[in-house]
A = this chain, B = another copy of it.
Amino acid sequence: MIRFAGDSGDGMQVTGGRFTIETALAGNDLTTFPDYPAEIRAPAGTTFGVSAFQIHFGAVDVMTPGDEVDVLVAMNPAALKVDLRDLRLGGTLVVDTGAFTERNLAKAGFPANPLADGSLARYQVLKLDITKLTLEAVKPFGLTTRDAHRCRNMWALGLMLWMYGREREVTIDWLKQKFARRPEIAEANVAALNAGHAFGETAEMSEYGSGYTVRRAPVTPGVYRTVSGTEALAWGLLAGMRGAGLERMLFAGYPITPASLLLHTLADLSRYGVTTFQAEDEIAAIGAAIGAAYAGAIGVTSTSGPGMALKTEMLGLAIATELPLVVVNSQRAGPSTGMPTKAEQSDLFQAVHGRNADAPLAVLAAATATDCFEVAMEAVRLATKYMTPVVLLSDAFLAHAAEPWRIPDPDELPRFPVRFRTDPAGFHPFLRDPTTLARPWAPPGTPGLEHRIGGLEKDYDTGHISYDPENHARMTRTRAAKIAGIANDIPLQSVALGADPGALAVVGWGSTYGAIHQAVRRAREEGVDASHVHLRYLNPFPRNLGDLLKRFDRVLVPELNAGQLVHLLRAAYLVPAESLSKVEGKPFKVSEILEAIRGARAP
């Protein structure tokens, strides 16, 4: 695993992105994870300003950004300060000595120069004056020092591509096209890239040889690209809209980290039938989405913890009026403002229980960047088929994580056309479909179906306001039955890896998929009888889940929260599930789960 780390201005994200593509092209399976500085732009050279990009790749499916870094490229002292802790002992450290100036060392808070004081003895350190080497390489193109300096990342990329025996063509084309309007910049970057690569070839570097080259991973044929969780989510929502045969999606949001990315991504897609609306707050955002749903579009809103809290009352209205709505929650560390840029899975309770009164809705969670595409489509399907709000749980990690993705052929995508009500005969707005229990969707504009809906309780048989006691009981039961019924319309829970029945079921949900999967695989390699069960449907649960779990001696539930799914499973099935909790704003390490598995295995 490689990590590129430098100052926000050093272009580490681009460098990582390019390395990713070249690696994917080389047929390796991989996952990547960018690590941006916290919300506020920090002074250059400081530790708050460090930006990093990490790629984990190998022969067979890789699902985590990995635990320990094999090669760390540190473009300045601050980056070294922040990221060294993750470099494995004996790992390779590439540093740009040119950036280790007094000033930068001070800014990073190094009392002495670590390159000099022997504190790096436990690593293989490559001290290269990348700055100087780059400036020389690009001299011919007469750039400003600033622009020339900006080519450092390409030099570093070139070196890394050489180390792992990767190609450069695609990147070179991309550079040319990207700087089409400023050819000298393009040329300079290409030159830096080549220089870095050439440098690798030179004698001094031979000992690192191409020992790093990694075997190809077997992959299904098709056209591939890398996709981030946010992109996959955005496109999945669009694909869902298409699948439902709807004309329009209204995506209403209010900026909040890490959810804003989805708003930005969809704002660019208006040509595809999505209207984006930046509302004055999260309440107005979900309100507009509900209004749009009432008017016959699919309403979507997206936010994170604090914003989710503000949507609580409106969710109640959507449940009471039974309108199709998708609410995406990119979970972050809390409570309150917490740690806005850090990932957590702690909004599950809120999604399932967090409203006044008995107010059930459907809850789904995406497991990987590419899974976001399918889960988003499924959310639209359930929302429109059951006339209900659906909460889709993502998190700060999935929002940024990227993976290679086989681009689906639009014709192979599912279709679940909505039928708007048009027939006035016998119509009332809460007349239910006998199987789904969904009410009819009759948008304004439909002649003869004029009707009124609202948050007050309604009569089961007429849809009028009703305070009748028995009726309220009946409506409450029906709302619950409708959501519970979704269990008959979703796949039975399967085991992702391992035996069933078995000794230990490791049950997860959301972005912990990769870490759990790797841990279970390694445990099995060690001969531990462990199986991986990963939930996409958190409310309702798949109808076989209880029986499935009861076929295991023990159930371990790793979560990035204080123990929420484990609580829901215990209540639902009375299984003595145990919690493996991590609340550090970071993904699980495979080793952490593996240890717990070993521990749980012991009787």
Contacts and interface: CB of A to CB of B under 8 A. Distances in A.
Given A309-B355, A357-B344, A316 B339 contact: no
Contacts of A349: 353-355
A558 B585 CA distance: 40
A239 to B, nearest CB: 28
Contact of A357 (B346, B456, B476): B346
Interface of A: 38, 305-306, 308-310, 312-313, 315-317, 319-321, 331, 333-339, 341-342, 344, 346-347, 349-350, 352-359, 454-457, 467, 469-470, 472-473, 476-477, 479-480, 561-562, 564, 567-568, 570-571, 574, 576, 582-586
A305 B335 contact: no
A561 B479 CA distance: 13
A339 B320 CA distance: 12
A338 B570 contact: no
A547 to B, nearest CB: 17
A357 B337 contact: no
Contacts of A353: 349-350, 352-354
19 contacts: A306-B313, A308-B356, A309-B355, A310-B313, A317-B336, A331-B356, A334-B357, A334-B359, A335-B479, A336-B357, A336-B456, A338-B456, A347-B357, A350-B355, A350-B356, A354-B354, A473-B583, A476-B583, A568-B571
A472 B584 contact: yes
Given A320-B337, A335-B358, A349-B355, 18 more contacts: A305-B357, A309-B312, A309-B313, A309-B316, A312-B312, A317-B336, A320-B335, A333-B357, A335-B356, A336-B456, A338-B456, A346-B358, A350-B353, A354-B355, A358-B561, A467-B585, A568-B571, A574-B576
Q: Is the interface of A mostly helix, strand, loop or mixed?
A: mixed
B305 A472 contact: no
A358 B310 CA distance: 17
A469 B585 contact: yes
A335 B350 contact: no
Given A312-B354, A344-B357, A571-B568, A333 B586 contact: no
B306 A316 contact: yes
A268 to B, nearest CB: 28
Contacts of A455: 335-338
B356 A305 contact: yes
A470 B477 CA distance: 44
A450 to B, nearest CB: 21
Contact of A359 (B335, B341, B576): B335
B585 A342 contact: no
A321 B584 CA distance: 19
A305 to B, nearest CB: 3
A313 B304 CA distance: 11
Contacts of A354: 312, 349-350, 353-356
B336 A316 contact: yes
A346 B331 CA distance: 26
A470 B584 contact: yes
Contacts of A310: 310, 312-313
A582 B473 CA distance: 7
B342 A467 contact: yes
Contacts of A335: 316, 319-320, 355-359, 455, 479
A193 to B, nearest CB: 34
Contacts of A454: 337
A335 B585 CA distance: 33
Contacts of A316: 305-306, 309, 334-336
A344 B475 CA distance: 14
Nearest to A304: B356
Given A472-B585, A568-B571, A574-B574, A309 B356 contact: yes
A477 B456 CA distance: 40
Nearest to A282: B313
Contacts of A562: 358, 476-477, 480
A469 B334 contact: no
Contacts of A477: 562, 583
A479 B441 CA distance: 45
Contacts of A476: 562, 583
A123 B477 CA distance: 35
B339 A347 contact: no
